[in-house]
């Protein structure tokens, strides 16, 4: 399921040539290859140095509230619009979800893309039915264009 706020919907309606590209596939591969399981969470570990034994989960959960909050705070990546243009968002989120699900035995993921000026903010988390969505379902509460893929 894809949720969009009206700002993202308007942006995507004005885009042409909605297909994935080699650049999109490379970003997906790089993101997926740098993820690993920590405490049953899928975490982006850019440098491969995260160690579960050194993480204070009690403290983190007091700050972020739940495992979805933990994942989404760890899995925040930024790109320039030139690297990940809006006309590729739909193919990108579908491809990223498929690649993560394949690597992690059919898990379902929530993938969030938002735009602030020329910066694309990408976040993702394991979808946990008990925890629900990370953002409010009514994405029109947010000013920036937002896409939430489950």
pLDDT in tens, 47-90: 999 999 999 999 999 999 999 999 999 999 999 999 999 999 99
Domain ranges of the chain: 2-149
CB atoms within 10 A of CB 15: 13
Q: How far apart are CA 121 and CA 125, in angstroms?
A: 14
- Is the pLDDT at 18 greater than 90, yes or no? no
Q: In what order do the strands lie in the sheet with 76-80?
A: 2-4, 146-149, 109-116, 119-126, 76-80
For the stretch 91-130, pLDDT in tens is 999 999 999 999 999 899 999 999 999 999 999 999 999 9
Q: How far apart are CA 77 and CA 56, in angstroms?
A: 22
Residue 122's closest CA among 70, 75, 67? Answer: 75
Gyration radius of the chain over CA positions: 15
Cβ neighbours for 63, distance < 8 A, ≥ 6 positions apart: 69
Q: What angle do CA 81, 146, 3 make, to 5 degrees?
A: 130
CB 64 within 8 A of CB 41: no
42: which strand partners? 37
pLDDT of residue 16: 73
pLDDT of residue 29: 97
């Amino acid at each position: 399921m894809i949720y969009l706020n009206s700002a993202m919907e308007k942006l995507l309606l004005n885009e042409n040539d909605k297909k994935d590209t080699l650049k999109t596939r490379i970003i997906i591969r790089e993101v997926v290859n740098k993820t690993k399981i920590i405490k049953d969470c899928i975490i982006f570990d850019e440098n491969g140095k995260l160690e579960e034994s050194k993480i204070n989960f009690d403290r983190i959960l007091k700050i972020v509230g739940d495992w979805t909050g933990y994942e989404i705070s760890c899995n925040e990546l930024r790109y320039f619009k030139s690297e990940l243009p809006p006309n590729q968002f739909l193919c990108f989120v579908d491809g990223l979800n498929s690649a993560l699900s394949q690597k992690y035995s059919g898990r379902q993921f929530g993938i969030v893309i938002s735009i602030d000026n020329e910066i694309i903010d990408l976040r993702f988390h394991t979808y946990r039915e008990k925890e629900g969505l990370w953002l409010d379902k009514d994405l029109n509460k947010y000013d920036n264009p937002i896409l939430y893929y489950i």
